[in-house]
Structure 1
């Protein structure tokens, strides 16, 4: 038990002194390896093995695709279509923001990217129509998390690699949960908007939807090409990510003619930075997780849970509460890579399907995007709306509660996650 004691002790120490999570993970793992007298080269081998995977190649491609879509005019067309669909109903623009997050999430695979793309367009529009700044930012932050549940999804790719599960099957399994989470947010937005008197304030002339769809047909086709290609077996998720980049370049340069050299350079810069950040997190989290597995921590946790209760329902409640708590303080990718080798064997031993567990895990991480102190989406929407995190937190609480109930439903009813994969023969 010396290694886990040193690992958690050093991890806690680095967090207390304010070190970034990736430094805390890497430094604590390095300390354990050095204390055990292991060769430093073994850490380098872990780093290599963590990223030496064909599916990992999808990450930079999906990140680049999401960045390019903002510069290629695809994002604003998707948002406009969503706005027209909402019409003058109560909370219409809020509904548009959620719908736009679903559209963009079906392309980018990233929560923060979805929040930034949708928020830049929707938050100012919502404020202009009488929505409070804090509510607009809270709703955008909450709906932005849909980007990691609705396929394609970067966290699902990471889980698939970590758990050695089919990424295509994970993408299929995420469709219904993503739709349910979006519906929950829409219902919450409608009830709050009805009470506050929020409406879109705009009626659209007949034919407006047709005109918006005609103008945005190439934007609508993006998720169709990407997801259709994956689910039909035409190409793998990794190949789909590369196809999405070339599709976006083609549309931005030759169709919309809005993609400039400046936009391309900014997209490449942000992709390089984000990809490097992800790979460093993967290395540190893999080393940390391997130490936990080598010291038999998963079986100890399983035994402890079974001593508390034999009820799978109660165990799910404990696990979800733990995942959401961890998600409040740890980055999503680090959470997935550390928690998966620890909790997955426990849940599988209780009869839970690995794909089902992965979807619940990603959904819990989705909630973490809109909860302080580390909610990335909250910081993005806060900077766009120019309001404090505290103001957003209060307005985001109803949406967090709604999403929590939906996640519980997904956990207790495995068919929500597994029905579509089974339909496709997985």
Structure 2
């Protein structure tokens, strides 16, 4: 079996089993890899060997720690505290609730690192408040779908860890590479919110509050929210202060989360409606799914490499595409398309071994390539037809899907701007990496 035929067999098998027959993605990858192994006369026993070897990684331990800490924060009532803290800082400006939703999703995503946890926790708090303030339900749903993935771009990020492992890059570098694009999203969303909502609102009554009163209010909410704010301080301070690795910082955040959970449970038993065992079960299920995905994606990468597919793709692309700009355009279209249908972790683990070697021939670094991949996949989270974020947003707010998609168009335009900036200005991406390198 030639390399081209092996690639075709792999793609067809994966599409048939994972997308048409609804086989879970990890097992779809395993089946597709097995076809390649058998077709190229490679020993299929190596499937088990590669799977086990992929899980024998110290860096991979970071994932269960961050997931566990994120679940603890999600069910500890942190979302309301974060909303109140952001609200005290922003104050009473026109369209403030939309800005608060954007910034809070960004801040809460830092604690959980999960788009689904962010949209669920913040959506339940913000949607009723925005509805009372006259925000259209479809706009609220679109805003939640557009902001929930910002936590993926702000460290700590599980997809960032997955990409760092797949590309053999430093986790901290991959994390910082998406901070710049995340700021573009935030500024763009605030502008969209002002043009769509803020500028149509009447000016609020003038608030006669002194600087001292404002500072006092901010200090009070900061003190109440400090237990939540301490988690990112621990993570960033330990990693970028050179005290420990990202994996060890994940362990510290999990320990801190347990301590916070127990203290809150002692103070007020009704404050948390979930037990520590249930937290462990939820985080364990998520970790198991990611572990299976990582194991079988490694097998897929080995099958593709041993079949000569990487070299085949590299020769095919470089012989037909002479321009770096055309290659960048091609991968952006491909990643954006995949983001509409495929789980971000699956896409990272499948596409990185395929296209990163080719990208390097065009002078694109692994960190810049990772930023392009993660930003495109994030935009795909709110882009129809699949648009998982949009589906969840409509469920939380009770809005119609068609109206929500219409409201999502300005946010998609911001996403395209972020993609262009990330792709065309690697210096901007690397600026944040170099600050803490």
Please tell me whether residue 234 in structure 1 is matched to residue 237 in structure 2: no
Cα distance in 2 between the residues matched to 1:8 and 1:243: 40
Deviation larger for 155-164 or 133-142: 133-142
Conservation of the 8 A alpha-carbon contact between 1:129 and 1:200: no
Which residue of 58, 82, 87 maps to 1:54?
58
TM-score by length of 2: 0.90
Deviates more, 1:308-317 or 1:143-152: 308-317
- Does residue 158 in structure 1 map to residue 162 in structure 2? yes
Partners of 2:82 and 2:204 in 1: CA distance? 17
The CA deviation at 1:75 is 2.5
Residues of 1 paired with 2:131 and 2:402: CA distance? 18
Q: 1:193 to 1:170 in 2, by over 3 A?
A: same
Cα deviation, 1:252-272, whole Å, max 9, x if unaligned, reads 332684564834233222111
Hey, what does 1:126 align to over in structure 2? 130
Q: Write the distance in 2 (CA, Å) between the matches of 1:363 and 1:160.
A: 15
The offset of 1:391, in angstroms, is: 3.4
Contact 1:112–1:376 under 8 Å retained in 2:
no
Residues 184-209 of structure 1, C-alpha deviations (whole Å, 9 max, x = no match) = 22222222113654999997964432
Deviation by residue 1:103-150 (Cα, 9 ceiling, x = unmatched): 112222222222222112112211121111121111111111111111
Q: Give the aligned partner of residue 258 of structure 2.
A: 249
CA deviation profile, 1:290-309 (whole Å, cap 9, x unmatched) = 32223333333334444444
Q: Secondary structure at the match of 2:274?
A: helix
| Contiguous gaps of at least 5 residues in structure 1 | none
Partner of 2:364, secondary structure, is: coil
SS at match of 2:384: coil
1:358-377 equivalences under 5 Å are 358-377=370-389
Q: 1:344–1:354: 8 Å Cα contact kept in structure 2?
A: yes
CA shift in 2, pair 1:154/1:104, >3 Å: same
Deviations 1:311-370 (A, max 9, x none): 322321221111000111111001000110111111111111111111121111211222
Of 233, 240, 245, which residue of structure 2 is paired with 1:224?
233
Q: Which runs of 4+ in 1 moved over 6 A?
A: 198-205
Going from structure 1 to structure 2, the CA distance change for 1:161 and 1:384 (only over 3 Å counts) comes to: same
How far does residue 19 in structure 1 lie from its aligned partner after superposition? 3.6
1:181 matches 2:185:
yes
- Name the residue aligned to 1:149: 153
Change (3 A) 1:215 1:234: same
Question: 8 Å contact 2:74–2:117 — kept in the other structure?
Answer: no
> Are 2:387 and 1:384 aligned?
no
Segment drifting more, 193-202 vs 172-181: 193-202
- Paired residues in the alignment total 425
Q: 1:75 aligns with which of 71, 74, 79?
A: 79
Structure 2 gaps of 5+ residues are none
Q: Which range is displaced more, 105-114 or 151-160?
A: 105-114
- Could you say if the C-alpha distance between residues 360 and 201 of structure 1 is closer, same or farther in structure 2, counting changes exceeding 3 Å? farther
Q: Does 1:212 align with 2:215?
A: no
| Structure 1 residue matching 2:183: 3-state secondary structure | helix
Match of 1:319 in 2: 331
1:190-339 alignment to 2 at 5 Å? Answer: 190-194=194-198, 197=201, 206-207=213-214, 208-254=217-263, 257=267, 260=272, 262-339=274-351
Partner of 1:11: 14
- Please state whether the residue corresponding to 2:134 is helix, strand or coil: coil
Deviations 1:205-226, CA, capped at 9 Å, x for gaps: 6443232112112222221121
SS state at 2:94 partner: coil
Root-mean-square deviation (CA, aligned residues, Å) is 2.5
1:149/1:362 contact within 8 Å kept: yes
Q: CA deviation at 1:374?
A: 3.9
Distance 1:266 1:374, change over 3 A: farther
Deviates more, 1:153-162 or 1:10-19: 10-19
By how many angstroms is 1:18 displaced? 3.9
Following the alignment from structure 2 to structure 1, what is the Cα–Cα distance between the partners of residues 110 and 207? 27
TM-score (norm 1): 0.92
Q: Deviations over 1:234-279 (max 9, x none)?
A: 1111111111122222233326845648342332221111111111
